[in-house]
């Protein structure tokens, strides 16, 4: 794991303020969490780097294993400040901070991707324009449909297309992607063409300045601002803080970084860790290297507590004492994802992900008479199955209804 020093935490308060820090002290800042998802090696981390002005302790693949393997292995967080979009002007906020959640793209890290997607307000789906939609691109699209309502498609690596005929190839790729999106709720999602790292890693390595400047980023920021809606957030209510990283700082305590999903935080407040059955008091807090006294729903920050073993909690939850309890079973409403072709049967084992935690669970499915057949019929209609399949589903539904016992009373 990356090494962290006390200077990275307490030293920020005495550091000379940057222009962005000075701006952040004037009026309230609206934080918007934007997820960057896509297939491995589509340029997600390069895009995060091109957009960001402030990096967290775990941004841009700082993990030694990420550097060694050349791919993103964990969630990375960074941010930039921008003016408030026109549709949000005149309210309680004077500017907007965009927190970027850089998600891995490898198939084996799907649970990490799901965890990242659960804390975002808007999603950027990054696609390598030379390859189009790949396996994890499609998986990220499915996750986005479940957990998000706003999507922007980012066509990256446009510099890799031959200049002669570039626009024609770009138009054809857009048409192919639009055809795929037509079957989703993102049918009208905007597309922005960029080159986050012109020339790729080799160009950056050979250039002392880090390579050529990114192309199209300004247009992407403009599109992002145009699509932002004011999230429904409340300052009151119980605290639910999703922890994604935990590490010790010598002489300071243990730092927990994460996102406030509900409620608020302030220095001196007692918080509980349900999995550990422990409570601790908040010593200090920082939001992207800026010390803060409080934070509210939607904010991303680091929280420092004392006398907590960092090794006991890598990811997890902090909450108002007594608000969240651990359970061994739960009743939930589920729906079948149309791309999942395997039957969901009682007794089958599934990975169950809540926040950043994933456990193995055994499912028992039940519902009103004919519900399964009705769902099969609906799926057949959605996927354009043949007439015989639709009639078979209808027959199965009718049989299930006929076998159901008559009600003993009527309302």
Are the C-beta atoms of residues 257 and 301 closer than 8 Å to each other?
Answer: yes
Tell me whether residue 166 is exposed, middle or buried, using C-beta atoms within 10 angstroms of its C-beta: 0 to 12, 13 to 18, 19 or more.
middle
Which residues fall within 8 angstroms of residue 309, CB to CB, at 6 or more apart?
Answer: 254
3-state secondary structure of 174: helix
In angstroms, the CA 266 to CA 294 distance is 4
User: What are the residue ranges of helices labelled H in 26-165?
Assistant: 44-51, 64-69, 110-117, 135-147
State whether residue 336 is helix, strand or coil: coil
pLDDT of residue 21: 39
Backbone phi and psi for residue 46, each to the nearest 5 degrees, phi listed first: -65, -40
Structure tokens at 211: 């390579």
At 171 the three-state DSSP class reads: helix
Residue 29 CA to residue 105 CA, distance in Å, equals 30
Short-list 112, 111, 124, 5, CA closest to 57: 5
Each residue's pLDDT expressed in tens, for the chain with a length of 411 residues: 444 555 455 433 333 334 443 333 345 889 999 999 999 889 999 999 999 998 876 664 455 554 444 555 578 889 999 999 999 988 888 999 999 999 885 655 677 777 777 888 999 999 999 999 998 898 889 888 888 899 999 999 999 999 998 999 999 999 999 999 998 999 999 999 999 989 775 555 444 455 678 999 999 999 999 999 988 887 889 999 999 889 999 889 999 999 999 999 999 999 999 999 999 999 999 998 889 999 999 999 999 999 999 999 888 899 999 999 888 898 988 888 877 778 888 999 998 888 778 889 999 988 776 666 666 666 666 555 556 666 666 666 666 655 555 444 444
Six token digits for residue 223? 């599109």
Region of 90 on the Ramachandran plot (φ > 0 left; ψ -120 to 50 alpha; else beta): left
pLDDT at 166: 93
Rounded to whole angstroms, what are the CA distances from 315 to 11, 74, 380? 25, 12, 39
């Amino acid at each position: 794991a990356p090494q962290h020093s006390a200077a990275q935490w307490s030293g920020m308060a005495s550091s000379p303020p940057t222009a962005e820090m000075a701006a952040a002290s004037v009026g309230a800042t609206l934080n918007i969490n934007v997820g960057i998802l896509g297939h491995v090696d589509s340029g997600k981390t390069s895009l995060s780097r091109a957009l960001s002005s402030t990096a967290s302790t775990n941004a841009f693949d700082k993990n030694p294993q990420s550097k060694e393997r050349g791919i993103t292995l964990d969630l990375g967080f960074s941010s930039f400040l921008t003016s408030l979009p026109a549709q949000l002007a005149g309210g309680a906020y004077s500017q907007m901070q965009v927190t970027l959640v850089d998600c891995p793209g490898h198939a084996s890290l799907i649970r990490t991707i799901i965890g990242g997607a659960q804390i975002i307000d808007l999603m950027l789906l990054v696609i390598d324009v030379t390859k189009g939609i790949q396996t994890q691109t499609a998986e990220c699209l499915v996750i986005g449909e479940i957990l998000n309502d706003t999507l922007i498609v980012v066509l990256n690596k446009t510099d890799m297309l031959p200049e002669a005929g570039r626009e024609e190839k770009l138009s054809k790729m857009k048409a192919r992607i639009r055809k795929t999106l037509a079957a989703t709720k993102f049918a009208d999602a905007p597309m922005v063409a960029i080159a986050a790292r012109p020339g790729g890693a080799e160009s950056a390595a050979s250039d002392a300045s880090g390579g050529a400047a990114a192309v199209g980023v300004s247009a992407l920021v403009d599109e992002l601002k145009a699509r932002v809606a004011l999230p429904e957030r409340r300052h009151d209510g119980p605290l639910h803080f999703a922890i994604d990283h935990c590490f010790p700082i010598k002489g300071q305590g243990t730092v927990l970084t994460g996102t406030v999903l509900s409620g608020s935080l302030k220095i001196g407040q007692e918080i509980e860790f349900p999995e550990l059955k422990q409570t601790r008091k908040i010593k200090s807090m920082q939001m992207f290297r800026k010390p803060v006294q409080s934070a509210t729903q939607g904010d991303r920050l680091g929280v420092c507590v004392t006398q907590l073993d960092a090794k006991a909690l890598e990811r997890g939850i902090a909450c108002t004492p007594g608000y969240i309890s651990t359970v061994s079973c739960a009743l939930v409403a589920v729906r079948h994802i149309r791309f999942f072709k395997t039957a969901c049967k009682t007794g089958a084992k599934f990975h169950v992900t809540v926040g950043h935690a994933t456990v193995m669970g055994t499912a028992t499915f039940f519902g009103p008479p004919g519900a399964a057949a009705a769902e099969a019929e609906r799926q057949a209609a959605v996927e354009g199955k043949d007439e015989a399949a639709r009639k078979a589903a209808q027959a199965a539904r009718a049989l299930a209804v006929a076998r159901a016992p008559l009600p003993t009373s009527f309302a």
